[in-house]
Structure 1
Amino acid sequence: MSTETLDFEEQVALQLAQVREELLNRLRYSNVVHDNKLFALLNEHPESDWVAHLRDYSGPNYKELVDKLERLEATQCQFDLGLFGFCSDCEEPIEDTRLEHDVTVQRCQHCESQLKSRAQ
């Protein structure tokens, strides 16, 4: 494993910890009873189950954080499987500049462009 890949992996681990902490703090200190109950629910379950609970029970105020958590967990899985840095569509290496900009990116520039053009 290259030093650069280790740096990316460390970056993902750090971001995961930060997002989880931010979610817990927002839920813990919320004035909304439902948020406090969700905080308790998350504390009863392993972190690997959080996204499912958050998708089911959190409101739109948490969507951005939940989306980020989900992308980071997917990236962590790619590290575990040895697939980090490869495009999920064409399986070619993702450009380093794209990964440096967003370590959770899933596609190379070409495939991302193709996806966006099909969506229009």
Structure 2
Amino acid sequence: MSTETLDLEEQVVLLLAQVREELLNRLRYSSVSHDNNLYTQLSEHPEDDWVAYLREKAGPSYKELVDKLERLEAAQCQFDLGLFGFCSDCEEPIEDELLEHDVTTQRCKKCESLVKAREQ
């Protein structure tokens, strides 16, 4: 594994910890009692189950953070499987500048442009 890849993996691990901490802090210090209860309940769930649990229980104000958590967990899983940095569609390497910009990038430039064209 290259030094650059290790740096990206370390970045994913760090960002994952930061997002989890941010989620916990927002839930814990929320003025909404439901959020406070979610904070307590999350401590009883393995971190790997947080996304599914929060999708079901957390309000829309947490969607962006939960989405980010899900993308980071996917990137971590790709490292574990040795698939990090490969396009989820064509399986070709993702351009370095895309990964440096966002370590959760799932597609190469070509496939991302095809997806965006289909969405229009």
- The residue that corresponds to 2:57 in the other structure is 57
Say which SS state the counterpart of residue 26 (structure 1) adopts: helix
- The residue that corresponds to 1:84 in the other structure is 84
Q: Percent identity?
A: 78
* Equivalent AA in structure 2 for residue 40 of structure 1: T
The correspondence of residues 33-112 of structure 1 with structure 2, limited to 5 A, is 33-112=33-112
- The residue that corresponds to 2:27 in the other structure is 27
**TM-score, normalisation: structure 2:** 0.99
**1:51-110 C-alpha deviation (Å, 9 max, x unpaired):** 011000111111110000000000000000000000000000000000000000000000
- For structure 1, the 5+ residue unaligned runs are none
Q: Distance in 2 between matches of 1:53 and 1:76?
A: 19
Q: How many positions carry a matched residue from both structures?
A: 120
Q: Distance in 1 between matches of 2:52 and 2:42?
A: 10
Q: Distance in 1 between matches of 2:12 and 2:21?
A: 14
- For structure 2, the 5+ residue unaligned runs are none
Following superposition, the deviation at residue 119 of structure 1 comes to 1.0
* Equivalent AA in structure 2 for residue 43 of structure 1: S
**1:5-61 C-alpha deviation (Å, 9 max, x unpaired):** 000000000000000000000000111010011101100111001001100011111
- The residue that corresponds to 1:13 in the other structure is 13
Runs of 4+ in 1 over 6 A off after TM superposition: none
**TM-score, normalisation: structure 1:** 0.99
